[in-house]
Amino acid sequence: MSTPNQQTAIITGVGRAGQVGAAVASAFAERGWRVVMLDRTGRNVTARAEELRSAGHDAIPVACDLTDAAALARVADELAPQLPTGAGALINVAGGFAPSGPVGDSDPTVLQQQVALNLTTAYLATRAFLPLVRVGRGGIVYFASIAALPERATPNLLAYAVAKGGVLTLMRTVAVEEAGHGVRANAVAPNTIRTADNVAEAGADARYVELSTVTDTVVWLATQRGVTGQVVRLG
Q: Are 97 and 143 in contact (CB under 8 A)?
A: no
> Does 160 participate in catalysis according to the annotation?
yes
Please tell me the distance from the alpha carbon of residue 124 to that of residue 202, in angstroms, as a whole number: 32
Across the chain, the runs of DSSP E, i.e. the strands, are: 8-12, 34-39, 59-63, 89-92, 139-143, 184-190, 231-234
Please identify which of the residues 123, 142, 160, 208 carries the catalytic annotation.
160
- DSSP string covering 59-94: EEEEE--TT-HHHHHHHHHHHGGG-TT--SEEEE--
Q: b or e along 37-47 (b: 16 or more beta carbons within 10 Å of the residue's beta carbon)?
A: bbbbeeebbbb
DSSP state of 229: S
Q: b or e along 169-195 (b: 16 or more beta carbons within 10 Å of the residue's beta carbon)?
A: ebbbebbeebeeeebbbbbbbbebbbb
Please tell me the distance from the alpha carbon of residue 91 to that of residue 220, in angstroms, as a whole number: 12
Instruction: Kindly list the catalytic residues.
Output: 160
